[in-house]
Structure 1
């Protein structure tokens, strides 16, 4: 149970979860008494009870009065996983901008139940300490910071990011990193550095609609690759594609794909890197959700596995602490010179004060404390949302099981058009993301994505139940 960054009750909860996943503890089986757990692990009664209560909140355990805690059999028999997607033999011309703008118009409406936009609730993030740092720096350094920074961005922040990269086994220097306006600009810079208008890139399917919008703006086509809801892209299918087609880049999530929540096993990541290296195709990776892992270990990004030889790494703080600061970054490797050229042309440089505030915030260790807290919240939110979906949606619904991030992907009966469901949901004050915006070819019209980035409230739970009822009604028509 030795894990230096987790509380003792979290360590115990992780251990019990692992035993359930491995079958050591079966569905319906009674767990050892709290007193027995205390003696076995040499922990206090309050620590053991806190671990059991945490697993109860997540739906892993159920408490029976005068009897104890049991493995939740209902949790073990949850909805099936979504189907693995199929690849397409031809590249798609992306035309999604109108649909994205339509969705974001409603997703930003605070009067609607917020299931649509994958942006965490500012109140949940509790970035007050970061905001105070920014305010103090504005008072003390406002004049000095009201300048154009160097194109790469503030060195203090780049150094802090390089130090964090060491935690996943990748050695970077401050000069290997360029600060961007969120991960969106990082991806745009990476794509424009390695591809030209009319070129094709390989992508996951489904994938984040923001990436699709960027591909459309740059005039790039997309090969949608077969993608598993648990293991990510099909490496063998990618190899066959590269043997037959000219591909300028492969664009993948490092971990916890949005919207599937899938993460490639490390062995698969290495195999994919070998395939891309053999065909001299660069990999652009989006690691925005990497810090939001629920397991003990943070999944290693591709750049840590190939040393950056063939990888352009993109990430940001937008999903973890400061969406409004719009601070992201890119490590462009051998393509860095072209990345810098495009940064100068597109936006010249980033705002100085937010970068300095984040650098100081990272140096205090407050970010890691925050991450430990927010990971637990997101995991609990997804567990609650999954239970609400299971209680209200049609019985043939399929649901993802993300091990990080805060989005849930649902596959419904093909009788249900989630565009029509979206319109019906709006009439009931609910917003979600229809499945077709996650595909270059506008597939997945029977799927949808729910965001669990807001604090769980009766309003949100009621919104999920109402959405499930609407889906049942459409399914029975």
Structure 2
């Protein structure tokens, strides 16, 4: 290897990538041990390991405990991408609560193959470290924390969240942050601060089922914007809407829409912010999947871009670390006072002990190591899931190619009924999310969402293949 143009571990990494690109190393292939590579290339073991770790961070290799390093599963891309939804002509009244309740009941059933709920597997999360931090806080300061904490949340946690905001190019102070009961409460606070019952909210289509449920309970209408499976919403469609209809706010994913996994380019985000600014419409952004990205850099949220001053930022740790802690946060900017008033009225404050434990975990620096691990796992899970879909579902199936998160969106021929498949799947011990719950107008009946948030297993793979067989049988009638 040439030792003059770059570090030796980078040269080794480039060599391995070249072998993969040329087909010499196939997806799933096991690489030589670190010791063997060091001997073959006359480099130290630490240099060889550094090369492997670099490729692991990039998602090129996957480390398996007690086994070694493997080439990450490739996405063959044999199936087409899902279609962009047709534009709507008017806002919809949301009526989805019954379907949501039924889905959540089945999704929480541990006896079913877990493809329904977009919640990460507890086995993938740093629960032991968090448990220790929680126990330590309770043991050392239990009396102090058995009281109401500040309405904004524990200062230590707000400080850690503000520090992390610097990594996405946005300066926040701890006073800008308000702790919420997950991102759901953050979105509810934001919506009630900017809209009144009967108002119209512009949303992605398809969109997160929990947002639709919140809109229904608040008595808000939804205008569904066409959303491209890779590029996100069409800015032109939003501009045409704002020129003709009164809209109280726009609610969008910062990146990695649930269920599509789409992400807007930064230039498109800036263009969208400019459109909203011209019409004085606030943006509420949901960034729960922002830390689960598969590229080299974390995409910037809207609030970190020029023109993001009228943006309310919402996020949580529920998708990346601690779903059971129900800790989210909101940075409401110009709407901070209205949000605080509603927080006091709705829940007064959150529990102190989980916030203290989470602040301790973040301060330890362990979170970033954990994020690198779950990003690799989720990306590998999605690749494996895509391969299983390509092998077992009808050839007309279209499937998303998310750039982050851990869900896949499948589109089948228009005559297909995912509700019927859902009923059959339950009889076979499988749960997934039928497509109509992701639309205010109950569209996407021929679509479904699969979650890849659990450890990959034969049970999960067999469940996907069974779904594919059932889908083929339905279309063959």
TM-score (norm 1): 0.89
* Counterpart Cα distance in 1 of 2:372 and 2:85: 33
Matched, 1:144 2:111: no
Match of 2:402 in 1: 402
Q: How far is 1:123 from its partner?
A: 1.2
Contact 1:14 1:295 in 2 (8 A): no
Cα distance in 2 for residues equivalent to 1:260 and 1:13: 32
Asked if structure 2 preserves the Cα contact closer than 8 Å seen for 1:30 and 1:71, the reply is: no
Match of 2:444 in 1: 444
- Match for residue 462 of structure 1? 462
Query: What does residue 243 of structure 1 align with?
Result: 243
1:284-316 superposed Cα distances (whole Å, 9 cap, x missing partner):
000000001111100000000037511000000
CA contact (8 A) 2:204 2:225 kept: yes
Deviation at residue 263 of structure 1 after TM alignment: 0.5
Q: Secondary structure, in 3 states, of the residue corresponding to 1:225?
A: strand
Closer/same/farther in 2, CA of residues 415 and 335 from structure 1, 3 Å limit: same
Q: Matched residue pairs, number? A: 451
Compute the displacement of 1:126 (Å).
Answer: 3.1
Within a 5 Å distance, the mapping from 1:78-157 to structure 2 comes to 78-157=78-157
Matched-pair contact (CA < 8 Å) for 1:183–1:329: yes
2:174 maps to 1:167? no
- Separation in structure 1 between the aligned mates of residue 228 and residue 43 of structure 2, nearest angstrom: 38
CA contact (8 A) 1:205 1:438 kept: yes
Q: Distance in 1 between matches of 2:267 and 2:200?
A: 26
1:70 and 1:430, CA in 2 relative to 1: closer, same or farther beyond 3 A?
A: closer
Q: Could you give the per-residue CA deviations for residues 171-219 of structure 1, whole angstroms, max 9, x where no partner exists?
A: 1111111000000000000000000000001000000000000000000
Q: Give structure 1 stretches of 5+ with no counterpart.
A: 1-7, 59-68
Question: Conserved in 2, the CA contact under 8 Å of 1:29 and 1:71?
Answer: no
1:350 aligns with 2:350: yes
Q: Tell me by how many angstroms 1:379 deviates.
A: 0.8
Q: Structure 1, residues 39-84: CA drift from partner, whole Å, max 9, x if none?
A: 69998556667888974769xxxxxxxxxx9999x84442111111
Asked if the contact 2:190/2:332 (under 8 Å) is kept, the reply is yes
Distance 1:208 1:71 in 2: 29
- SS of the residue corresponding to residue 410 of structure 1 reads strand
CA pair 137-70 structure 1, distance change in 2 beyond 3 A: closer
SS in 1 for 2:305: helix
Partner secondary structure for residue 388 of structure 2: helix
RMSD over aligned CA atoms reads 2.8
Q: Distance in 1 between matches of 2:14 and 2:107?
A: 34
User: Following superposition of structure 1 onto structure 2, how do residues 140-289 of structure 1 map, counting pairs within 5 Å?
Assistant: 140-289=140-289
